[in-house]
Chains A and B, each alone.
Chain A
């Protein structure tokens, strides 16, 4: 049986106290919500962690406040299942939450956790023994990237399904620090770095996700993965459109699993804005979106194929959103 390392488990009274505990613990202390991403990684010894600060017992983190017309504030510990079943959230967001992994995992995994899901690489998401045999990599214990050995950086892949949708919506997160809260656009939460992929302080606790008012936004998320369940995305596209008649008033297209961060493709947004959403526009937008996508040989299936599929998922997401 693969087991967790010995851990201390701290139970804070508030998000701020959690942040204080995490700050005090330093790099060997981590925050944990549902644990569905962290525990497997810990069992494979992907972190040198000896202390966890639990968040799921904080009741306020489980609440969904607000309404569609004014926008929802979704507590960070709301489970992915609950979010996916919430009929008034943006359809694309609920859709993305419902496409994460598998049903039992979604019953424990949280929306905050999914925003923070560790970047993935199949040289990295392996047991200690496997990584020893392969030779350790930049992201853990080594000094080269095994995917791109000449590269000075880590190319682990951002694999959140909900983050691209949150960015497309222009959502923000509420972060609790040790002595204050701050609000950060989800788009500013990520860095283009496979190791240091979150642009928040390690101890800052995501307490909620603030989604914008429904306000005519049409959203969709399309996920590509080998199997219809369990798998992480190997390409994905989140789209948020605002239409005026059959013209696009505004558009946000964000890709998952093609870079170390959710990839915003402003070129596609610009192309779509003001255009009629016909086949030609959709194809052009998809073409523009696919350009910056840079899948590498560190996830399932051939990376050339994944690159080609970006176009397909973007087109499908645009059509789906427009039809909503």
Chain B
């Protein structure tokens, strides 16, 4: 593939020009004739029964055109089929401060806000459950979700054993256990969520700042009881997601229903405070890990436990639990592995997928844990980690299939560039090194269906070519990637490819812009569609070389009429032969390594990041400019989580401590260091042109590398996030800051899974044939 012309070019994003002149239309920028404005009334209580809702005063206010209460939207929804536990407006009970209970549409926002406030809700306040420990005990008043079969406020409970643990422990020369806590935090997109609904002649159109038009489409269809063909969901220009806009949300359903009720377009834009309540951010996770190594430092067995504080609803939580356990095995070669994970409900805004979904927490734990283990046995930590690096084209003990793997090269790049091995050793100055892996899209859809995960259609006529793709460009530049792939195959410039994206009426299915899947899956779909189109074009010009593109297009249309081709991508069935193997498999894993350099002041505890070096195995960079953008953005978000961002709550009140941009600390220009990025191209056999993901993996190593740098500088262990100055001082006094115990969890008997052979690379039908009973 040495002769690639468009793929590999650092081209600007497809919408870059529109964004720098202020022409891009985001959801809140949409204004339709006679449009109304909506405001949600939210619960002031973390846990309460709703006794009555009286909206009569609101209805009487001049300018109010529609009022909804829970009675109007009784059908439950949720992103996962196993967690249909949310209502757009709750009518029975509220489960967190901010849970929506009523909604108003009025001629302006001022009237809508006043009318929402005028709705009288009578509550019977219940004792809130606010911590993992509380959630594991029998509740004082009642459970948050009464109908669940698990005890107390447990939401999910998993236990798996892969390989011969007993033999692994027996073989170990050293065994160590550690406890870690990863604090919850939120996405904080600059754009507040917004949606506009319009109802014309029995057809509903919703514009939204969503990452996944398809999931909003499904939820609207279910809750509003409308067939899919009566609903159109369009992704407006997107002001940032990071996972925070991948669930269907109450306000999206509410604007639709209000539009249906009032016959007028309705817009709802959340305030910044409401965005904190919509949340779906990083789960707070308590973790325990025990690892055995042999005399050479090779891992013989590992046992990992996680407890996730899920907040009030399921969201992606059932998957999140798995993710805290599943990817350990694709970074380090672990011959025997036990994972126990649980998620609890608490009366706080629901947690969900934030960049790295469920994996930054165990990554943090594991990198610190192995460093401690190395120190304890007097071995160089980098060396210990390297001895256990996962190798390319191997199968992990939990059946995850690793293809291309640039871990070695990534590690070497950052170690060399940072001078880590020869770093200056003095109190107050330190460097930390960590590695990671992430999925290039989930191998299994979040709801069972047999459709492709991505489809791309191309239309070609005398005016050129248009690509139709359901993926939402959320700022990462996925539109540019699609255009570059199509352009490469058709032998034209990326700018000559017109794009129609994220519109359920005109674009085929795509499972959305999350899970780091778009380049890999929509990219492969685009590649297939483009190759088919290229063949048609070649036929149209009778394989003559040098026919200008538009001329060829006209010849093709003359010959056959307007042409269309389609390509699709369905990941191979990669998961192992056991129940629950659907979370974790990915057609390819990206790898990253980072070194973080800090000054840590022993007097104040203040940590200043001097520089971050990061190397990322991207497979192939279809657009290196955008890949670097994803890497730098990931490093930034990681440093925020590592140093200052936390979603915390007033203990008794169950109330978000500071739902504002001022007090939720997002690093500014002057808090963000220089970032030096290296791309490692391993050319994955299944990625389009060999490409893998870039959007999430590079976040993962930075957080543990920061803590390890602080350890390097001051000799203290901070076994939790974020590393605040007060914790540094406390650690200097006590040696360590971190959790002291893991609560008692009623773990079930583990599902015992026979591990695969290390070189077993079979997938799909071949694999299924080998294990017919699974």
Is chain B in direct contact with chain A in the complex (CB below 8 A)? Answer: yes
Closest to B666 in A: A227
Out of A1, A122, A228, which one reaches B271, CB within 8 Å?
A1
Query: Which residues of chain A (158-201) have a CB below 8 Å from chain B?
Result: none
- In the bound complex, what is the Cα–Cα distance between A312 and B665 (angstroms)? 22
Shortest CB distance A1–B (Å): 6
Contact with B along A221-258 (1 / 0, CB 8 A): 00000111111100000000000000000000000000
| A231 B662 Cβ-Cβ under 8 A | yes
Given known pairs A228-B668, A228-B670, A305-B729, the reply for A134 and B271 (CB within 8 Å) is no
Out of B109, B603, B670, which one reaches A229, CB within 8 Å?
B670
- In the bound complex, what is the Cα–Cα distance between A227 and B269 (angstroms)? 28
Contact with B along A297-324 (1 / 0, CB 8 A): 0001110110011001000000000000
Is B551 close to A, CB under 8 A?
no
- In the bound complex, what is the Cα–Cα distance between A36 and B644 (angstroms)? 25
Closest to B650 in A: A134
Contacts of A304 in B (CB 8 A): 726
Is A107 close to B, CB under 8 A?
no
- In the bound complex, what is the Cα–Cα distance between A127 and B270 (angstroms)? 14
Is B496 close to A, CB under 8 A?
no
Given known pairs A122-B658, A130-B655, A308-B729, the reply for A229 and B724 (CB within 8 Å) is no
| A133 B655 Cβ-Cβ under 8 A | yes
- In the bound complex, what is the Cα–Cα distance between A23 and B563 (angstroms)? 77
| B662 A230 Cβ-Cβ under 8 A | yes
Is B130 close to A, CB under 8 A?
no
- In the bound complex, what is the Cα–Cα distance between A94 and B272 (angstroms)? 33
Is A7 close to B, CB under 8 A?
no
- In the bound complex, what is the Cα–Cα distance between A226 and B605 (angstroms)? 12
Query: Which residues of chain B (634-681) have a CB below 8 Å from chain A?
Result: 644, 650, 653, 655-660, 662-663, 665, 667-671
Out of A133, A226, A228, which one reaches B44, CB within 8 Å?
A133
Contacts of A1 in B (CB 8 A): 109, 269, 271
Contacts of A134 in B (CB 8 A): 650, 653, 655
Closest to B28 in A: A1
- In the bound complex, what is the Cα–Cα distance between A317 and B494 (angstroms)? 57
| B603 A227 Cβ-Cβ under 8 A | no
| B659 A227 Cβ-Cβ under 8 A | no
Contact with A along B97-141 (1 / 0, CB 8 A): 100000000000110010000000000000000000000000000
Is A87 close to B, CB under 8 A?
no
Is B251 close to A, CB under 8 A?
no
Out of A129, A133, A227, which one reaches B653, CB within 8 Å?
A133
Shortest CB distance A182–B (Å): 35
Is B725 close to A, CB under 8 A?
yes
Is B375 close to A, CB under 8 A?
no
Shortest CB distance A275–B (Å): 23
- Give the secondary structure class of A's interface: loop
- In the bound complex, what is the Cα–Cα distance between A312 and B670 (angstroms)? 21
Contacts of A122 in B (CB 8 A): 657-658, 663
- Give the secondary structure class of B's interface: loop
Given known pairs A129-B44, A230-B662, A230-B668, the reply for A302 and B726 (CB within 8 Å) is yes
| A133 B45 Cβ-Cβ under 8 A | yes
| B726 A127 Cβ-Cβ under 8 A | no
Shortest CB distance B517–A (Å): 33
Contacts of A230 in B (CB 8 A): 662, 668
Contacts of B45 in A (CB 8 A): 133
Is B604 close to A, CB under 8 A?
yes
Contacts of A135 in B (CB 8 A): 653
Is B42 close to A, CB under 8 A?
yes
Out of B273, B671, B724, which one reaches A129, CB within 8 Å?
B273
Interface size class, chain A: 20 to 34
- In the bound complex, what is the Cα–Cα distance between A126 and B653 (angstroms)? 14
- In the bound complex, what is the Cα–Cα distance between A301 and B605 (angstroms)? 12
| B655 A227 Cβ-Cβ under 8 A | no
Shortest CB distance B712–A (Å): 22
Contacts of A229 in B (CB 8 A): 668-671
Shortest CB distance B38–A (Å): 12
Number of residue pairs spanning A and B whose beta carbons lie under 8 angstroms apart: 73
| A133 B670 Cβ-Cβ under 8 A | no
Shortest CB distance B112–A (Å): 11
- In the bound complex, what is the Cα–Cα distance between A79 and B544 (angstroms)? 70
Query: Which residues of chain B (671-704) have a CB below 8 Å from chain A?
Result: 671
| A2 B271 Cβ-Cβ under 8 A | yes
- In the bound complex, what is the Cα–Cα distance between A133 and B658 (angstroms)? 13
Shortest CB distance A239–B (Å): 18
Contact with A along B18-55 (1 / 0, CB 8 A): 00000000000000000000000010110000000000
- In the bound complex, what is the Cα–Cα distance between A2 and B667 (angstroms)? 23
Q: What count of chain B residues pass the 8 Å CB interface test?
A: 35
| A132 B670 Cβ-Cβ under 8 A | no
Contacts of B669 in A (CB 8 A): 228-229
Out of B109, B110, B273, B670, which one reaches A127, CB within 8 Å?
B273
Shortest CB distance B495–A (Å): 34
- In the bound complex, what is the Cα–Cα distance between A302 and B727 (angstroms)? 9
| A312 B604 Cβ-Cβ under 8 A | yes
Closest to B37 in A: A1
Out of A130, A227, A305, which one reaches B667, CB within 8 Å?
A227
| B97 A133 Cβ-Cβ under 8 A | yes
Contacts of B110 in A (CB 8 A): 3, 6
Out of A127, A133, A227, A309, which one reaches B604, CB within 8 Å?
A309
Contacts of A126 in B (CB 8 A): 659-660
Query: Which residues of chain A (127-157) have a CB below 8 Å from chain B?
Result: 127, 129-130, 132-135
| A305 B726 Cβ-Cβ under 8 A | yes
Shortest CB distance B20–A (Å): 19
Out of B109, B271, B665, which one reaches A226, CB within 8 Å?
B665
| B42 A129 Cβ-Cβ under 8 A | yes
Contacts of B269 in A (CB 8 A): 1
- In the bound complex, what is the Cα–Cα distance between A71 and B668 (angstroms)? 36
Contacts of B725 in A (CB 8 A): 301, 305
Shortest CB distance A91–B (Å): 21
Shortest CB distance A236–B (Å): 14
- In the bound complex, what is the Cα–Cα distance between A3 and B37 (angstroms)? 14
Query: Which residues of chain B (724-740) have a CB below 8 Å from chain A?
Result: 724-726, 729
Closest to B603 in A: A312
Contacts of B113 in A (CB 8 A): 3
Out of B272, B660, B665, B726, which one reaches A227, CB within 8 Å?
B665
Contacts of B729 in A (CB 8 A): 305, 308
- In the bound complex, what is the Cα–Cα distance between A305 and B737 (angstroms)? 15
- In the bound complex, what is the Cα–Cα distance between A227 and B668 (angstroms)? 7
- In the bound complex, what is the Cα–Cα distance between A134 and B653 (angstroms)? 6
Given known pairs A129-B44, A133-B44, the reply for A227 and B273 (CB within 8 Å) is no
Closest to A135 in B: B653
Closest to A316 in B: B604
Contacts of B726 in A (CB 8 A): 301-302, 304-305
| B644 A227 Cβ-Cβ under 8 A | yes
Shortest CB distance B151–A (Å): 30
- In the bound complex, what is the Cα–Cα distance between A229 and B665 (angstroms)? 11
Shortest CB distance A235–B (Å): 11
Query: Which residues of chain A (1-21) have a CB below 8 Å from chain B?
Result: 1-3, 6
| B668 A130 Cβ-Cβ under 8 A | no
Query: Which residues of chain A (93-136) have a CB below 8 Å from chain B?
Result: 102, 122, 125-127, 129-130, 132-135
Query: Which residues of chain B (700-756) have a CB below 8 Å from chain A?
Result: 724-726, 729
Closest to A4 in B: B110
| B44 A301 Cβ-Cβ under 8 A | no
- Which residues of chain A have a CB within 8 Å of any CB of chain B? 1-3, 6, 102, 122, 125-127, 129-130, 132-135, 226-232, 300-302, 304-305, 308-309, 312
| Complex A-B, nearest 4 residue pairs according to Cβ-Cβ distance, in ascending order | A228-B670, A133-B44, A305-B726, A302-B726
A-B contact pairs, 19 of them (CB 8 A): A1-B271, A2-B272, A3-B109, A102-B668, A122-B663, A125-B660, A127-B271, A132-B44, A133-B44, A134-B650, A226-B665, A227-B665, A228-B669, A229-B668, A229-B669, A230-B662, A300-B665, A309-B604, A312-B604
Beyond A122-B658, A308-B729, 9 additional pairs, beta carbon < 8 A: A1-B269, A122-B663, A127-B271, A130-B659, A226-B665, A232-B662, A300-B663, A305-B726, A312-B604
